[in-house]
Amino acid sequence: MKDAASLASPAAYADAVATAVQAAAAYYADGTTPLGDDEYDALVRAIESYEAVHPDQVLPDSPTGKVAGGAAGGDVPHSVPMLSLENVFSAEELESWAAGLERRLGRPVDGWCVEPKLDGLAVAARYRSGRLQQLITRGDGLAGEDISHAANAVLGLPQQLAEPLDVELRGEVLLTQDQFDRANEVRTAHGATPFANPRNGAAGTLRAKDRPYRIELTFFAYGAVGLDDLAHTALLERLAELGANTAATTAAHPQHCATVEKAQQRVDEIAALRAALPFGIDGVVIKADSAADQQQAGSGSRAPRWAIARKLPAQYKVTRLLDVEWNVGRTGIIAPRAVLEPVLIDGVTVTYATLHNPADITRRGLLIGDQVFVYRAGDVIPRVEAPLVDQRTGDEKPIAFPDACPRCGDAIDASEQRWRCVRGRSCQAVASIRYAASRDQLDIEGLGGTRAVQLVDADLVADVADLFTLTREQLLGLDRMGETSTDNLLGAIEVARNAPLHRVFCALGVRGTGRTMSRRIAAHFGSMAAIRAADADTLADVDGIGAEKAKVIVAELADLAPVLDKLIALNVGTAVAEPAAAGQDADGAASPLAGEAVVVTGSMTGLLAALSRNEMNELIERAGGKASSAVSKRTTLLVAGDKAGSKRIKAEDLGVRILSPEDFADLVASYLV
């Protein structure tokens, strides 16, 4: 791909134009372009820079100044041109654009509307007397394709408006993440290849006819022809009144901002929400809100002069799949990991990505050497979505699946989607011991990776229970274990023997549980013996488990039965702790967090500064609440420290009560011991 610095000749410019045209054609057809958004944007900017210096050399096919890069079209004329948006890529460029618009108007803009730039397919929906008559793609802005056959599968696009109007709604059709996942399940069940990404899926679904299956999509309205003289925020409210879905129903809802500084602040807020949104966005749109401002500014041949898209770094990139590694986890799960040609995604260089399980590899039809879409959102682990089949050269090779455990060489249990070594935890005894001894579990100081390897290699320890049988003589027999370090380690192990039940249970690494669920299980059953005897029905009664997860946990407990029996015999985690009555502490007083679903975000200060996030969760549950990591409609309280970010924004949107760390510490003061 060419960048601005490399377009030093007419030949380089022509090559860049050809590349951009090819990429745009693929993108607007079905989303299978070999270029990511960042690469395409950089290429077009390089072409624009070259053309600015060499206006006499502009090629007719150049994508500059054209809707959809000149790649799309159709045979249904639009009543009013359906334009694209110009882009800016920084706060400075946004400020410069806004200043230019105000110079054009000769006065300040009467406020801005800031809304998410949805990553889907732009459409126009024509209504006559309030009934949907035709659905059309944007195409080249002057004419588009008739996709009315797909309208019944588009949620949020009403067949009948709330009023009998003649109007044309304009908006974006996309696949939410849930719809995308479901679509790929349906497609693979019918022998079709999975969609590479949600945009690819939306484009392909809207154009497909006579499929033997149905894929649902979602419509978000953002404009209309026939509802003139309304400010943009008022127009969005009017569209919602008519029954159309808008982004007002989301955490990234459109917002009126009085100044460009406030608009930039809202841009940052929406960008921070990006990873948590249930659909993809590739930027934020800033529009002059006033209808008078819009009319005076007017439009060019490609884009309105009163609106701009502030592009965000791409979350999808294309790179090459170099290899697949097979790693064995502490419970014996054999997990494939993609080794990638390094690629920069959202400011992070990605070299590895998850492939979930062998069935996922087969379902996606991946080959070594494939060009693949890689997705990363915020802190989410990067994942490989799908190969670009039309980019294959013939040199690609099948992925080799292991026929024996890559760690120990024993057999593989492939009866479930997630393969597992038949030796289970014993295959990864070192990893299991390190996990059990870590700070958030038993917190055994002095038992790090090197010491765990020594203990396992010397056949002194095969599981966590064996730690509590170690003797002074055994430890002194190990290399680099003197009397002081031996006594210190034995002292730490003795402290761990009396650790709370939930920490001992969590140290076992039971699939289907974690730190929060371990606390709930321990509180529900009260003793290790009671947990050992639990069946699926009694486990299902624990809040947050349910019938399906209970089956997994019961199977795990059966597998761990010898370890549990040893722990009970060794008096580790056996103290019986009678749970307090619901909503009460151990003394019968009302718990300060009874009935509260609490999320903690940001950096804690004051009395809470010394607590780890796990210790914060323990504090919440001791005080009668339920700790969670994500803000949702069930959340009732957010503890927001410094740099709270997107979770605070979402909590504010949902009307969740928000406390500072200091106020929260006062609320649970009696539990801060």
Check if the beta carbon of residue 86 is closer than 8 Å to that of residue 93.
no
* Cα 518 to Cα 512: distance, rounded to the nearest angstrom: 10
Beta bridge partners of 225: 168
Residue appearing with tokens 């991946």? 366
| DSSP assignments along 428-489, one per residue | GHHHHHHHHHSTTTT--TT--HHHHHHHHHTTS-SSGGGGGG--HHHHHTSTT--HHHHHHH
- For 312-440, where are the E strands, in sequence order? 316-328, 334-345, 348-354, 367-368, 371-375, 383-387, 397-398, 412-413, 420-421
Residue appearing with tokens 């229970």? 465
| DSSP assignments along 529-592, one per residue | HHHHT--HHHHHTSTTTHHHHHHHHHHHHHHTHHHHHHHHHTTSS----PPPPTTB-TTSPBPT
Q: Which amino acid is at 272?
A: A
* Cα 184 to Cα 177: distance, rounded to the nearest angstrom: 11
| DSSP assignments along 601-624, one per residue | ESB--GGGTT--HHHHHHHHHHTT
For 223, list phi and psi in degrees, rounded to 5.
-165, 175
Residue count of the chain: 673
For 464, list phi and psi in degrees, rounded to 5.
-65, -35
Token duo for residue 319:
């790179």
Residue appearing with tokens 């749109």? 285
Nearest to 32 by CA among 313, 391, 320: 391
Q: Taking the mean position of all CA atoms in its chain, how far away is CA 25?
A: 28
Nearest to 432 by CA among 461, 404, 403: 461
Q: Supply the residues annotated as catalytic.
A: 117
Q: Which amino acid is at 603?
A: S
Beta bridge partners of 657: 637
> What is the phi-psi region of residue 249: left when phi exceeds 0, alpha when psi lies from -120 to 50, beta otherwise?
alpha
For 515, list phi and psi in degrees, rounded to 5.
-65, -45
Token duo for residue 226:
């026939």
Check if the beta carbon of residue 195 is closer than 8 Å to that of residue 180.
yes
Residues 6+ apart with CB under 8 A from 467: 433, 436, 437, 444, 447, 455, 461, 493, 496
Q: Is 41 helix (H, G, I), strand (E, B) or coil?
A: helix
Residues 6+ apart with CB under 8 A from 670: 585, 592
Q: Which amino acid is at 38?
A: D
Token duo for residue 434:
């390190």
* Cα 178 to Cα 198: distance, rounded to the nearest angstrom: 10
